[in-house]
Homo-oligomer: A and B are copies of this chain.
Amino acid sequence: MAARSLVVGLNAVIVAVTDEAPRLLTVEKAGRDLRVAGADAPALPFGPLDPAGHRTLELGLRGWVREQTGLDLGYAEQLYTFGDRHRDPRERAGGPRMISIAYLALVREGRVSGAGRARWRGFYEFLPWEDSRAGRPALVDSVIAPAVARWVQQPGEAKARRARRERADITFGLRGATFATERVLERYELLYEAGLVPEARRDRTRAGRARGTRLGEPMALDHRRLMATALGRLRGKLKYRPVVFELVPPTFTLLRLQRVVEALAGVKLHKQNFRRLVEKGGLVEGTGVVEPQGVGRPAELFRFRREVLRERRATGVGLGRR
Closest to A321 in B: B313
Given contacts A57-B83, A170-B309, A178-B312, A97 and B51 within 8 Å (CB-CB):
yes
- A310–B51 contact, CB under 8 A? no
- B310–A177 contact, CB under 8 A? yes
A80, CB-defined interface residue at 8 Å: yes
Given contacts A49-B83, A97-B51, A101-B83, A310 and B8 within 8 Å (CB-CB):
no
Contact of A6 among B8, B169, B321, B322 (CB under 8 A): B8
Copies of this chain, complex-wide, total 2
How far does the alpha carbon of A172 sit from the alpha carbon of B11 in the complex, in Å? 34
Count of A residues near B, CB < 8 Å? 38
- A311–B8 contact, CB under 8 A? no
Closest to A169 in B: B310
**Chain A binding surface SS class:** loop
- B57–A97 contact, CB under 8 A? no
Expressed in whole angstroms, the minimum distance between the Cβ of A234 and any Cβ of chain B is 16
- B81–A56 contact, CB under 8 A? no
How far does the alpha carbon of A170 sit from the alpha carbon of B308 in the complex, in Å? 10
**Which residues on B sit within 8 Å (CB–CB) of A169?**
310
- B180–A51 contact, CB under 8 A? no
Given contacts A57-B81, A310-B176, A8 and B8 within 8 Å (CB-CB):
yes
Contact of A8 among B2, B99, B178 (CB under 8 A): B99
Which of chain A's residues 31-70 have a Cβ closer than 8 Å to chain B? 49, 51-57
- A55–B85 contact, CB under 8 A? yes
Closest to A166 in B: B310
A113, CB-defined interface residue at 8 Å: no
**Which residues on B sit within 8 Å (CB–CB) of A55?**
84-85
How far does the alpha carbon of A247 sit from the alpha carbon of B95 in the complex, in Å? 41
- A6–B51 contact, CB under 8 A? yes
Most chain B CB within a 10 A radius of its CB, from A6, A170, A309, A321:
A6
How far does the alpha carbon of A96 sit from the alpha carbon of B99 in the complex, in Å? 17
- B84–A81 contact, CB under 8 A? no
How far does the alpha carbon of A5 sit from the alpha carbon of B312 in the complex, in Å? 45
A153, CB-defined interface residue at 8 Å: no
Which of chain A's residues 280-322 have a Cβ closer than 8 Å to chain B? 309-313, 321-322
- B56–A83 contact, CB under 8 A? yes
Contact of A54 among B49, B56, B85, B166 (CB under 8 A): B85
**Which residues on B sit within 8 Å (CB–CB) of A276?**
none
Given contacts A85-B56, A101-B83, A310-B169, A51 and B177 within 8 Å (CB-CB):
no
Query: What are 28 inter-chain pairs, A to B, with CB distance below 8 A?
Result: A2-B52, A3-B52, A4-B51, A4-B52, A6-B8, A6-B49, A6-B51, A8-B83, A49-B83, A49-B99, A51-B96, A51-B97, A55-B85, A56-B83, A56-B84, A57-B83, A57-B84, A78-B80, A81-B81, A83-B101, A99-B99, A169-B310, A170-B309, A170-B310, A176-B310, A178-B310, A178-B311, A313-B322
